Amino acid sequence: MSCHILCLVILLALALTTAETQAPRAALERPNFVLFFVDDLGYGDCGFTGHPTTQTPNIDKLAWNGKILTTWYSGCSVCSCSRAALLTGRQYGRYGMQPVLGPTDRYGLNLDEVTIAEQLKRVSYTTAIVGKYHLGQRLAYLPGNQGFDYYLGIPYSDDMGNGKYSTCNSSSHDATKREFSTTRQQATDSGTK
C-alpha cells in the first residue's frame, strides 16, 4: 500500500467532556485508546474494509479486536489543520492555524490551545504520538510542549525536505533548545537557512 502513512498513536481513554469532572480511575480500570490518523488513506483501502487486493493483516487484527468507527469528518482537507482540529477539538480558523506548515515556518499550533493529550494527563494518562506531527517544527511547538510524553516521528511531511526524527522529552527541552540555537547560528553564519 503506497501512501503517506501517518500513524498518530495516542494513548487516550476518557471523553474530554468528563476528563476534568471525574476522579482518576485506577490503571486497570482505564482502557487504552489508540487512534490512527492516516494521510491519503481512503475508507476502502484496508483489508478489514473490503479492499480486494490490499493485504493489511496487522491493521485488520487491530480493527477486529477493537472498535471500528466508520463515520469521520476531518476538520480540514489538508495536513496541519486537520491534525490541529483533531487534537484540540476546535476549528482551525478560530485560532489562526494555517492550512499547511512547512519546514521553514516559524510558527505552529498555538501553545495556549488545550490538546487532548493535555486533558488526558489531567486524569493520569501517559500519552504518545508516532509519525508525522505537522503542527510546527520549531522546538517550542513539538509534541512535548503540547502534552505528549513520547514522540517518535517527523515534524512535517517527508516530501518537504529533510524530515528528521526528533524527540520531545520536555525535561530535555532546554538542552535541545540550546542545541537548536547553536545549529541555527551555524546555519546563519554559513549563509544557509
Instruction: Give me the active site residues, please.
Output: 79, 134
Can you give the length of the chain in residues? 193
Cell readout for 9 is 498513536
Residues 27 and 32: their CA atoms lie apart, in Å, by: 10
Residues 43 and 48: their CA atoms lie apart, in Å, by: 10
Nearest CA-CA partner of 123 in 9, 10, 33, 14: 14
Residues 95 and 109: their CA atoms lie apart, in Å, by: 9
CA 1 from centroid of its chain's CA atoms:
21
Residue type, 169: N
> Exposed (0-12), middle (13-18) or buried (19+): which is 38, by Cβ within 10 Å?
middle
Residue 45: HSE in the Cβ half-sphere, 13 Å Cα cutoff? 11
Determine phi and psi for 151, rounding to 5 degrees.
Answer: -150, 130
